[in-house]
Amino acid sequence: MSEISGQVVIVTGASSGIGAATAERLAAAGAKVMLAARREDRLRELVDRIRAAGGEASYCVTDVSQQTATQRLAAATLEAHGRIDVLVNDAGVMSISPLSALRVEDWDRMIDINLKGVLYAMAAVLPVMQKQNSGHLINVASTLAHVPRGGAAVYCATKAAVLSISEAFRQEIGPDIRTTVISPGAVTSELHAGVADPGLRATLAEAYQDALSGTTVAEAILYALLQPAGVGINEIVLRPTTQGA
């Protein structure tokens, strides 16, 4: 048992990667997890796996780029558990390419999911946390929020925005609701699988040879959640030791 035991946690982007690993790790620590993503088959499989291991989990199919969907997610969580203690904002896409490729639809998609999706989910849970006088927001950014790279300008910008929003929100909200940004480097996931540019795809494949596991990032998230009241872990940056920046 742990201090997170019994807490109600929403995890977006829970169908794979960091989100799925985080859901499993927090459920193993005793949290009641609500899984959110677009792929219902993946969510159902993960719920079954968590329950088979003795954890408590449910899911709500959610496209975070739609504000009404995040509102339904919060409502479903309240209906199931009566409260919302933690939001892990992990949903994201990495459709990177040089700006000169003019893949405007990819830019829109990253902004809609990586940035607006974070804001929509925050907006959906914040009134609940304010009423409770407690809560913890975990927003997943990236080391690329700190060190932008050519070929990934819009992705870097969305993650830098998440970092800025999280810090400004921390200053606004007061002591009862904590805010943590997790900025991982290369992590084994599906995030870069859809990269269209062959040169960038090859560069990423090389960079991801020593990638962290999603479980490693999940442990960092759990560490932030387990701090005693009055202690805020505002950001954790973690990367493979072989990653230069």
Number of H helices, E strands in the chain: 8, 7
Match 């999911």 to its residue by tokens: 113
Place of tokens 């960092």: 220
Task: Tell me 189's DSSP state.
Answer: S
- Candidates 59, 120, 155, 208; catalytic one: 155
Helix (H) or strand (E) holding 210: none
**Token output for 110:** 């990253």
Q: Measure Cα distances from 36 to 62, 74, 180, 199 in Å.
A: 5, 10, 19, 32
* 174: Cβ contacts below 8 Å, ≥ 6 apart: none
Report the residue count for the chain.
245
Q: In what order do the strands lie in the sheet with 8-12?
A: 56-61, 32-37, 8-12, 86-89, 135-140, 177-184, 235-238
Q: Give the Å distances, CA to CA, from 173 to 122, 124, 134, 142, 208.
A: 12, 15, 11, 23, 36
Active site residue 155: yes
Which residues carry out catalysis?
155
